[in-house]
């Protein structure tokens, strides 16, 4: 599909977890204009019904289409579960999604007990159950719903987020030492997990998604990054803004962060 001199790729999440996906993609491909949209006014999605998530995801997708994106990444497992299939059936542009990295965890750890940490909606959706049942495995797969964790991360309450996640880990450890992080927010706590539980293996879907995007769009490996980045947040909450700045600076020092409302346009623009 690489007939364009420069791709514009939209990345969408209910919050800031998708920045963990962007960070991985950024390292893999170059010469891309990225637009990252966080629907923080309606976050977190994990506690909402599938119908609500489908509506919100469709609105976010259409917002990115208005920005002339050539492809859209649902950097949110919950939104992928609820909306990606529907939108693919109704639109021609490439739509990439996330799914818990259960397959590599199972294939690389035969007969081990696998723990999947994710939102309740992701874990109860047919998409997840089909993924698990499709694997020829003797592994026991434990589902660990982590309601409230993504919101704590978005609100920059990472110590409280760790306390909550650590409680969840203790409910399965040491019975299980293979963890799948089924929400892009949780990836920000990956190093803390490994520091406190050095004998576990952790899987997430970020690199697999990045490689899939690279393959489908026929993009070259990143050698000298010429990427550009616009961050759009539909909130003026200072906690979200400061955290978005801090995380994004670990990806690139050069970006534009805008506070926007999808109905009435930009409210404020802050450049870095």
Dihedrals φ, ψ of 30, to 5°? -135, 175
- Residue 38 near residue 9, CB atoms below 8 Å: no
CA atoms within 13 A on the CB side of 114: 27
- Residue 183 near residue 153, CB atoms below 8 Å: no
Sign of CA dihedral 271, 42, 185, 38: negative
The token duo for 143 is 């589902």
The residues carrying an active-site annotation are 76, 183
Helix axes 18-28, 206-216, angle to 10 degrees: 50
Q: What angle do CA 110, 114, 119 make, to 5 degrees?
A: 150
Q: What is the DSSP letter of 222?
A: P
- The CA-atom distances, in angstroms, between 180 and each of 49, 55, 102 are 23, 27, 6
């Amino acid at each position: 599909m690489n007939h364009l001199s420069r791709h514009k790729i939209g990345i969408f999440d209910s919050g800031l977890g998708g920045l963990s996906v962007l960070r991985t993609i950024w390292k893999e491909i170059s010469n891309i204009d990225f637009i990252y949209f966080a629907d923080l006014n309606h976050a977190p999605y994990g506690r909402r019904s599938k119908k609500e998530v489908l509506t919100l995801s469709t609105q976010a997708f259409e917002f990115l289409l208005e920005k002339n994106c050539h492809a859209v990444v649902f950097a949110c497992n919950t939104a992928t579960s609820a909306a990606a299939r529907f939108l693919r059936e109704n639109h021609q542009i490439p739509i990439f999604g996330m799914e818990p990295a259960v397959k590599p965890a199972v294939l690389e750890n035969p007969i081990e007990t696998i723990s999947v940490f994710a939102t309740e909606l992701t874990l109860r959706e047919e998409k997840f159950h089909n993924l698990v049942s499709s694997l020829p495995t003797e592994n026991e797969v434990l589902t660990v719903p982590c309601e409230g964790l993504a919101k704590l991360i978005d609100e920059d309450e990472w110590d409280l987020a760790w306390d909550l996640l650590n409680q969840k880990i203790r409910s399965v450890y040491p019975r299980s030492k293979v963890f799948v992080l089924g929400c892009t927010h949780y990836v920000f706590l990956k190093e803390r997990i490994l520091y406190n539980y050095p004998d576990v293996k952790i899987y997430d879907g970020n690199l697999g998604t990045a490689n899939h995007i690279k393959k489908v769009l026929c993009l070259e490996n990143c050698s000298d990054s010429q990427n550009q980045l616009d961050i759009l947040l539909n909130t003026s909450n200072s906690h979200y803004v400061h955290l978005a700045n801090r995380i994004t600076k670990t990806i690139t020092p050069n970006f534009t962060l805008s506070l926007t409302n999808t109905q009435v346009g930009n409210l404020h623009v802050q450049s870095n």
